[in-house]
Structure 1
Amino acid sequence: MSKVIVYLGPSLSIEKAKAILEADYRPPIRRGDLKKALKSGVDIVGIIDGTFFNDSPVAHKEILDVLKKGVTVVGGSSMGALRASELDVFGMVGVGRIYECYRSGRIEADDEVAVTYNPVTGEQISEPLVNVRYQLKAAEKDDVMTKKEKDALLSMAAGMHYPDRTYPNILKMSVEKGLLSSDKADSLLKYINEKPLNLKAEDAVAVLEKIKKISIS
């Protein structure tokens, strides 16, 4: 039976993950973690969440070294999507819509998937920009907001520092800047609370399902 290690954080709860795939679940990947994984005799590595910016993110070379040793590496949702879009030509397996967006160049910035979260509980505190895009696109489709309003909000949200991206903050700022009326902002927040969407979670599930297929093939 394949030994599977999955690096998971705020994108999906451990409980939901274990209901899909039995694996050794570890915290968001950081530099040096793959060396430890190799020592434990891993066959398949799943990268979903990882540390960003100044907090020692996993390096491309680390993943390449693991691939060269015959380990299957599957990525998607967050750091996994970013690294897979850069390393799929070397054999890393990319999964999900966020991976496809990075791969096609529709999104490029690391902070599209970056969030802040509670290090103890793993609970997500801020909202990744990819989720904001997904949520506002649905709001436009459901006639909760116009395309012009959606585009203006996305442009504003993209300019925010990633820890500040929460829906209440985004909507408060949109009113202050005159992008939305107070009533429209309230209606949009109600819509988001009633029909929440989470693209990172959906892609995290896709990563686990892909690993499950690989491990039993």
Structure 2
Amino acid sequence: MKRRIIIFTGPSLSHAEASEILRADYRPPVRRGDVTDALSDSPDIIGIIDGVFHQSPAVGHREIIEALQSGVTVVGGASMGALRASELSELGMIGVGRVFRAYLSGEIESDDDVAVAFDPETLEPLSDSLVSMDYNFRRALRKGLISREDYKRLITTAKNLFYPLRNYRRVLNDSEMEEGKKDALSEFIKGEGVDIKREDALEVIGYIRKLLRG
């Protein structure tokens, strides 16, 4: 029997790219009431990757719990999905990915760590997530491109920016660092930067695909 899958994604992983990996009903970032509405379509699996944080009410815990209690498998990761999965894992929501584990362990706690602005029409991200920035700045630190003090300045600058304004160019421009280090870090981000949320979104899709294979 063919199982019905509904996945909420957008800025972390486009519908077009996700569709190349798994055929599903892809919907925009989840908001309050969307999971309840999805239940009327009798899904077998709901994947939550992206969701709204501040533009409108976020997806509620109760509606996810309702889905779980009705027998729907709910998988989350990358962004809002990671946050809700960390909060509801004991009730049966499945969390996957680096961001989920960071929320679950308490390494990160705020929704600001994963929040990004996105185009409401194309769903493309318009800013960079703090969680990805932190990951890449730590990699640059390990490679010796920046010092520990540089890292602290970069993260402080990034955290002090309102999330829609947060991007690598702005953070590097506003941070007190040697220009040579800024140039080296900028090249590193362009050539080797990793989007943690995108990687985790792919892991969510892959996990659901494995579920379907049994």
Q: Whole-Å Cα distance in 2 between the matches of residues 182 and 120 of structure 1?
A: 37
Residues 60-118 of structure 1, C-alpha deviation per residue, up to 9 Å, x if partnerless? 01100111100000000000000000000000000001000000000001110000011
Aligned to 2:13: 12
TM superposition shift of 1:54:
4.5
Q: Please state how far the C-alpha of 1:13 moved relative to its aligned partner.
A: 1.9
**Unmatched 5+ residue regions in structure 2?**
none
1:27 aligned residue: 28
Count, aligned residues: 213
Query: Partner of 2:54 in structure 1?
Result: 53
Instruction: Trace 1:1-217 onto structure 2 (pairs within 5 A).
Output: 1-174=2-175, 179-217=176-214
Q: Unpaired runs of 5+ in structure 1?
A: none
RMSD: 1.1
Contact residue 86 and residue 103 of structure 2 kept, 8 A: yes
Percent of pairs with identical residues? 44
Deviation by residue 1:134-156 (Cα, 9 ceiling, x = unmatched) = 11111112221122211221122
Letter in 2 for 1:186: D
Name the amino acid aligned to 2:179.
S
> Is the Cα–Cα contact under 8 Å of residues 31 and 51 in structure 2 kept in the other structure?
yes
CA deviations on 1:18-48 (whole Å, 9 max, x unpaired) are 1221110000001111122111110100000
Residues in 1 aligned to 2:21 and 2:139: alpha-carbon distance in whole angstroms: 27
Q: Tell me the secondary structure at the aligned position of residue 87 of structure 2.
A: helix
Counterparts of 2:142 and 2:17, CA distance in 1: 29
Question: Could you report, residue by residue, the CA deviation over 1:170-194 in whole angstroms, capped at 9, with x for unpaired residues?
Answer: 01110xxxx3022221221122112
Tell me which amino acid in the other structure corresponds to 1:34: V
Tell me, in whole angstroms, the C-alpha distance in 2 between the residues paired with 1:40 and 1:168.
Answer: 43
Distance, in Å, in 2 between the alignment partners of 1:104 and 1:216 is 30
8 Å contact from structure 2 (residues 6, 46) kept in 1: yes
> Which moved further from structure 2: 129-138 or 98-107?
129-138
* Superposition TM-score, scaled by structure 1 size: 0.95
Q: Does the 8 Å CA contact 2:28/2:123 hold for their aligned counterparts? A: no
The ranges of structure 1 where at least 4 consecutive aligned residues each deviate by more than 3 angstroms after the TM superposition are none
